[in-house]
Chains A and B, each alone.
Chain A
Amino acid sequence: MSPRWQALIRLLGVQAAWTYERMAGIGVGHAAAPLLRELYRERPAEARRAAVARSAAYFNSHPYLAGVAVGAVVHAEREGLAGPVITRFRVALSGPLGALGDQLIWTGEVPALMGLALATVPLVGWWAVLLVLVVHNTLRVRLTLWGLDLGLREGVHVGAALQQSWLPRAATEAQRLAAFAVGLGVPMAAAWLLDSESPAGVRATLAAALVGVVLLFAPWTRTRITGLRFGLTLLVLVLLLVVTGGDR
């Protein structure tokens, strides 16, 4: 298997040794190792070890875009840039790659796919789930490989190349699609889930949900209450009511 493909496979597990201190640094070093091994095959072992150590230092970005940094750093090592320059360049990439990836994936593609899945589950059942997995994983592997190749091609100019690429625009569009898809999916899935409930059940559920939304936005509760905490509290209260017979 070529070093490029080895790096791609390793990038799928880039957060395996994630820590609060080095974040994804170790994973990035692991992903870069096959490319560095090939690059330094005929150079002094000390130089290779120094490059490996640099590649595993602190690094943080969105995991799907870590390949951009891996490729760019390997390119910079190939060009023979000084170690401190490469380290500074690597750290400088962290913020933009993290922000762009979070916009594209966590607040874009993922909620968009899940919203569309929730909208279509009442129509096509579990096929919607299968479709989510196929679409997401195809995009994820293609994005990771694209990022790795972009970094390997552009080196220290990868920041400008990223800005001129399709990625920033795709991130904006993905966030809009996510907002629309979640808006579409929530009422459709809720109606499907409430289908078998009595009118009283539907009214009680919607009323309790409204109370939850108010609590999640009210200035005196919004920092302490999450949807999960609200739901769990409600569930425990209802359980007590049901078990003690207080509902009769």
Chain B
Amino acid sequence: MSLEAAALVAWGTFVAVDLVTVPQGLFSRPLVAATVAGWLAGDVSAGLLAGAALEFYALEVLPIGAARYPDWGPAAVGGGMAAAWAPAGLELGLAGLVAMPLAILGGWTLHVHRRRNAQSVVGRMARVDAGDARAIWELQRNGLVRDAGRGLVLSVAALGAAATISELRWADFPRATMLSWAVLAGGLAAAVSGAIRSAGAGNRRRWLAVGLATGLVAVLLR
């Protein structure tokens, strides 16, 4: 494995752990994860493009408590790689092809990870309930290790998918840029509907309308 590939897998593993375990510091947001992945893969601008498009999807998600949600961390790392290695004009399309299925897969692994944590707790229940601080430490450590393993598997899958997809003969499909339109259209729908739902009714919806109006004016004045 090249140094570049190792760095990308390490970054993907870190962002997976960031979402679930530690430090929960927004490194797993698509805008962050994909931009850094693009930089590691040799094209930070492509990573930034992919990250912005995928961030639209993440704006729809509320990672609250026991809710099930996609894991955008390693998925966005894969998206950033795919964008960096994509032919010109296909950055968003290839990023979406890699990242969107992986985000769903990542969400499923989160559920499995929590079930494994539960089994681990059941195995140490007597010691925890007896106040054994070492058993609590073991549970935390094992949770971190399992999560890192989950992130590692997802990151290797992201690397494989990005490398495979970017190697395809896209020049044979002259209208492949339409893939980028699909990724962006889905993202816009997700971001707009997520924003409207989050804003609820009343005052916040007015702030959303003011923000939208300001953004549209800024776009028209460019």
Contacts and interface: CB of A to CB of B under 8 A. Distances in A.
B212 to A, nearest CB: 4
Contacts of B175: 241-242, 247-248
Interface in B99-138: 100-101, 103-104, 114-115, 117-118, 120-121, 128-133, 136-137
Contacts of B45: 125
B7 interface: no
B147 A194 contact: no
A37 B137 CA distance: 14
Contact of A187 (B101, B178, B184, B215): B215
B121 A26 contact: yes
Interface residues of B, number: 104
A23 B65 CA distance: 8
B136 A26 contact: yes
A175 B52 CA distance: 21
B106 to A, nearest CB: 11
Given A53-B128, A230-B190, A208 B140 contact: no
B22 interface: yes
Interface string A33-72: 1000100000000001111110010001001100000000
A49 B23 CA distance: 28
A64 B127 CA distance: 27
Contacts, number: 330
Interface stretch (A74-82, A84-92, A108-116, A153-161): A108-116
B168 to A, nearest CB: 10
A115 B196 CA distance: 14
B22 A20 contact: no
Given A17-B139, A102-B64, A228-B190, A188 B219 contact: yes
A115 to B, nearest CB: 7
B149 interface: no
A115 B115 CA distance: 33
A20 B210 CA distance: 39
Interface class of chain B by DSSP = helix
A52 B181 contact: no
Contacts of A121: 31, 48, 52
B113 to A, nearest CB: 9
A228 B61 CA distance: 10
B6 interface: no
B142 A126 contact: no
B144 A16 contact: yes
B215 A184 contact: yes
B196 to A, nearest CB: 8
B128 to A, nearest CB: 5
Interface in B142-179: 142-144, 147, 173, 175-179
A212 B117 CA distance: 37
Nearest to A228: B57
B89 to A, nearest CB: 7
Given A17-B120, A18-B117, A182 B195 contact: yes
Given A126-B35, A228-B70, A242 B179 contact: yes
Given A17-B140, A182-B59, 13 more contacts: A16-B141, A26-B143, A29-B136, A51-B131, A53-B128, A118-B31, A182-B194, A182-B211, A187-B216, A197-B180, A217-B193, A228-B70, A242-B176
7 contacts: A106-B62, A129-B31, A187-B219, A188-B215, A201-B180, A228-B103, A235-B100
Interface of A: 10, 12-13, 15-23, 26-27, 29-30, 33, 37, 48-53, 56, 60, 63-64, 98, 102, 106-107, 110-111, 113-115, 117-119, 121, 125-126, 129, 132-133, 136-137, 140, 175-194, 196-197, 201, 204-213, 215-217, 226-228, 230-232, 234-235, 237-239, 241-243, 247-248
Interface of B: 20-27, 29, 31-32, 35-36, 39, 44-45, 48-49, 51-53, 55-60, 62-66, 70, 89, 92-93, 96-97, 100-101, 103-104, 114-115, 117-118, 120-121, 128-133, 136-137, 139-144, 147, 173, 175-196, 198-199, 203-205, 207-216, 218-219, 222
